[in-house]
Amino acid sequence: MSSDLRAALRRFKPDKHRTQLTPRARGELVSVTDISLSGRPALVPDTNIYIMAAAGTLPEAARLLLERSLLFHCSVCLSELTTGVANYDPARPDWRRVRDHYTALFDTIPDSRILIPDDQAWIDAGVIAGSLSRIQNFHKNQRKECLNDALIYLTAAKAGLSVLTGNTADFDLIQQVAPGGRFIHL
């Protein structure tokens, strides 16, 4: 079997996590302003980055980083975006603009740059999300969001890439449980 729960439990030790984790100070984490202006970094945008870019609310440093980066796209983020588009009220006057924006975005994504979580990533993400849900007292909807975030984080980590995210709090907690990945916060 390609997915191994026993290995995930050994790796992430949910039985050792019994007390609530404390978010680290933002200064201890990697920020977009910490990224060198030279070179072409490769990274994975989190779902909120696509949404902020579409709304024109992305901070300038993040916008510039995205422009010069080689972007890889996690299928989990693409699914979250499509859920949002399908859930958007077609009676709204901007429905076509929103639909067309994301359709055009998807048309620009080469298949070779789509990252898909494998079986083990799903098992690992479940252990991480379950552990964090328990020790952080997450509500049911937070547990599902944490599962998606853990999938994005682990999928990027397996590809050797950082996730660019505006969701510092959740990615910080995930990284504390699974320190093998990287993320860049706004």
Each residue of 128-156: pLDDT tens digit? 999 999 999 999 999 999 999 999 999 99
User: What pLDDT is attached to residue 85?
Assistant: 98
**Does a structural domain hold residue 22?**
no
Give the residue numbers spanning the domain of 154: 5-14+41-185
Stretches where the chain sits below pLDDT 70 are 1-2
- 86 falls within a domain: yes
Q: Specify the DSSP element, H or E, that contains 3.
A: none
pLDDT number for residue 2 = 66
Instruction: Report if residue 20 sits inside a domain.
Output: no
pTM of the full structure: 0.95
The CATH number covering residue 136 comes to 3.40.50.1010
Q: What is the pLDDT of residue 37?
A: 76
**CA separation for the pair 75, 115 (Å, rounded):** 6
Dist CA 84 CA 101 (whole Å): 13
CB of 42 within 8 A of CB of 68? no
Q: Which amino acid is at 8?
A: A
Handedness of CA 162, 12, 135, 141 (dihedral sign): positive
